[in-house]
Structure formats: C-alpha cells, structure tokens
C-alpha cells in the first residue's frame, strides 16, 4: 500500500522508501495476486490451497508436539498441580493450547510467516515495513466450545467503520477505484491461519462471516451467518482484521492444530512483544526479512530508531558490550517483578 503524498515526500528525503522491502513479486504472478486481492476485497478472506507440502506440515506438527510437551512440563513445574496444556481464559479457549512466540522457539516455522503469496497480499493491504503482530500455534482440542465471534482489530478503539488513520485509506481508494466497499473501510492488519490438521466442520475449523469486513459498528453477526473454512492440511486462509470470525467448536475426537501468523501496520503496537519474546542472540540465525518484521528495521519515516540507528544495530552493540564487560548472566531482577 502506497502512503499518502506528504509521507512519500518525507520517506524519499529520509531514504525510507529505499530501505523498506516489498516482496518483489514477479510480473508473472501479478495476475494471480490481483485475483487473490480482489477476492479478499470482496469476501474479506481468501483460501490458498496446498500452500505447504505434506512434509513441511509433518515437520511443523512434530515441532508443535515437542514444544507442547516442553510447555506442559514447564507449566506443571511452575503451578505444582496444574494439568498443563490448557488455555488461559474462555476467549482463548480453556480446551485450547496455544504456543506463543514461535519465532523464538524454532526455525521450523519461519517459512510459514514468509510465504510469497502472503507477502504479496501484505504489500497490497499494508504499508511498507509492516510487522509481525503475533505468531502462535492453536490446538483446539475435543470438547472445546465455539469461540466468541470477533474481529481481530476490535481492541483498537477507533469505531467501525474505521476513520481514515490519516490519508492512508484515501490512497487505498485511489489505487483501487473499482472496489465497492464503503469509503470508510480500512484495516490495520491481516492474518493467516495455516491448517496443520485438515479443517473440517466438526473439528474446530475457524468460522468466518463472509463479507463482514465491510460492516459498520451497528451490525453484529448472528452465528447462523458464520461458515466453516474447510480445507485440507497444508492449505491456509488469509483474512482482514475487520472480518468477523472465531474458532469453531470441536465436537470430534481429534485435535485441530493450526498455525496463525498476524501482520500489522508498522505504526501499531504488536500484540506479542516480538522484540522481547525473541532472544537477541537468536537474531543472527533467522531469515533477515523475519528479523525486520519483528521490529528491528526502522519504519517510515524513522519510527523505532535508536540514536538514529536501527534497533538491530543497537542490539548488536549492546550484545558486544555485554560480552566485552563479561556481564552475561549478571542481569539483576527487580524483586517486585
């Protein structure tokens, strides 16, 4: 998404337009991407079939299982008697196990956050320098109730239909005059759900309310308007943060494991604090694009800089300083925390 004119001038002066990457989609893919974008504009979501191979999905599933065992053991040792593997509240699902901060926990998941079609869609719907908002696995277990229907940017207290967030919405409309949804519709982030287990109508597949991304604040969905996104393992769906949706009830006898990756505008506080969640000494082993998305690249025109440098440079300096001073492992913890 192109920023408005004034921002373009400032971005050019400070070099932000050169600094911030796009997915670099080839022209060969552009018609296909345009069709995907059209569908997202129309329906609020699009399913991308067979986005990942069976072996990539098997590898992800094994890794989720390994992390789940580790997380449950940690929870048990912290809480003493707790069963582990359960959710924190009814919204997130009591019979639902979430593993947060996947970018910190394994390199197996990186590819799921960097799918070229998703990056191309993000380039269209978000501004350059967009961020990784949240990256987690969600296992909806047998017996889980349907999640409260919601839209993901609901906690941003700008009433629907969203006000323009500056002139950004206007540039969206200028670049797509043919689209018919209301002038005031503007979304601040998008998400994908990747089916690690096939999504069926009984195993907790996400339900969505098609076209609800255009609704104003006065319209609430009825459950009868929600449909399951059914898709085989390895497929994913991409949806706008204004689309009403929720986790489905799991009335089957099997788990429903999915990965979810959310991306947000570069000027929004991320849901998961990625710069703390991902340990600094792991950054060198990560794909640079993913490191940028955690928040390590200076946004436009210069959001997030540290003394005029990128947070990535600042962190490298701090790590080197710590090493020089032999201070590793000597960080004091405030007893009140």
Ligand X SMILES: O=C(O)CCC(=O)C(=O)O
**Sheet containing 227-228: which strands, arranged edge to edge?**
227-228, 207-208, 245-246
Q: How far is the CB of 200 from ligand X (least distance, A)?
A: 12
- Does the protein bind ligand X through residue 141 (CB under 6 A)? no
Element of type H or E holding 139: strand 131-140
- Does the protein bind ligand X through residue 295 (CB under 6 A)? no
- Does the protein bind ligand X through residue 206 (CB under 6 A)? yes
- Does the protein bind ligand X through residue 7 (CB under 6 A)? no
- Does the protein bind ligand X through residue 212 (CB under 6 A)? no
Instruction: Look at the block and give the residue holding tokens 């949240």.
Output: 134
Among 245, 271, 292, 312, binds ligand X (CB under 6 A): 245
Task: Tell me phi and psi for residue 134, to 5 degrees.
Answer: -160, 145
For residues 306 and 314, the answer to whether their CB atoms sit within 8 Å is: yes
Q: How far is the CB of 97 from ligand X (least distance, A)?
A: 11
Report how far residue 310's alpha carbon sits from residue 331's, in angstroms, rounded to the nearest whole number: 24
Q: How far is the CB of 186 from ligand X (least distance, A)?
A: 20
For residues 98 and 87, the answer to whether their CB atoms sit within 8 Å is: yes
User: DSSP assignment of 265-314, as one string?
Assistant: -TTS--SS-HHHHS-GGGGGGS-HHHHIIIIIS--SSSTT-BTTB-HHHH
Among 20, 138, 208, 283, binds ligand X (CB under 6 A): 138
The stretch near ligand X (CB under 6 A) out of 168-176, 240-248, 267-275, 285-293 is 240-248
- Does the protein bind ligand X through residue 168 (CB under 6 A)? no
Question: Rule CB under 6 A: which of 181-200 touch ligand X?
Answer: 193
Q: Using the minimum distance from each CB to ligand X, give the nearer residue, 23 or 241.
A: 241
Q: How far is the CB of 92 from ligand X (least distance, A)?
A: 6
Binding residues vs ligand X (CB under 6 A)? 92, 138, 140, 147, 193, 206, 245-247, 258
């Amino acid at each position: 998404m192109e920023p408005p004119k004034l921002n373009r001038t400032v971005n050019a002066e400070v070099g932000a337009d050169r600094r911030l990457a796009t997915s670099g989609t080839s022209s060969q893919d552009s018609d296909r991407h345009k069709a995907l974008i059209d569908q997202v504009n129309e329906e609020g979501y699009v399913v991308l079939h067979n986005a990942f191979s069976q072996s990539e999905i098997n590898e992800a599933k094994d890794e989720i299982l390994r992390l789940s065992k580790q997380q449950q053991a940690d929870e048990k040792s912290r809480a003493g008697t707790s069963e582990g593997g359960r959710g924190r509240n009814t919204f997130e699902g009591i019979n639902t196990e979430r593993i947060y901060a996947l970018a910190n926990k394994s390199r197996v998941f990186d590819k799921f956050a960097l799918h070229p079609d998703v990056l191309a869609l993000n380039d269209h719907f978000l501004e350059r320098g967009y961020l990784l908002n949240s990256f987690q696995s969600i296992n909806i277990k047998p017996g889980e109730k349907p999640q409260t229907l919601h839209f993901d940017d609901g906690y941003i207290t700008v009433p629907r239909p969203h006000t323009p967030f500056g002139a950004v919405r206007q540039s969206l409309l200028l670049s797509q005059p043919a689209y018919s949804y209301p002038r005031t519709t503007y979304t601040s982030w998008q998400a994908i759900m990747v089916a690690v287990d096939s999504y069926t109508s009984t195993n907790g597949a996400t339900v969505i309310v098609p076209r609800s991304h255009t609704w104003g604040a006065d319209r609430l969905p009825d459950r009868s308007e929600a449909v399951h996104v059914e898709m085989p393992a390895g497929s994913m769906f991409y949806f706008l943060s204004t689309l009403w949706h929720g986790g489905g009830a799991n009335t089957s006898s099997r788990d429903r494991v999915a990965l979810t990756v959310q991306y947000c505008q570069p000027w929004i506080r991320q849901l998961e604090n990625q710069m703390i969640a991902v340990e600094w000494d792991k950054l060198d082993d990560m794909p640079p694009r993913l490191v940028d998305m955690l928040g390590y690249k200076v946004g436009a025109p210069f959001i997030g800089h540290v003394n005029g440098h990128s947070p990535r440079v600042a962190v490298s300096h701090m790590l080197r300083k710590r090493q020089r001073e032999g201070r590793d492992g000597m960080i004091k913890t405030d007893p009140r925390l």
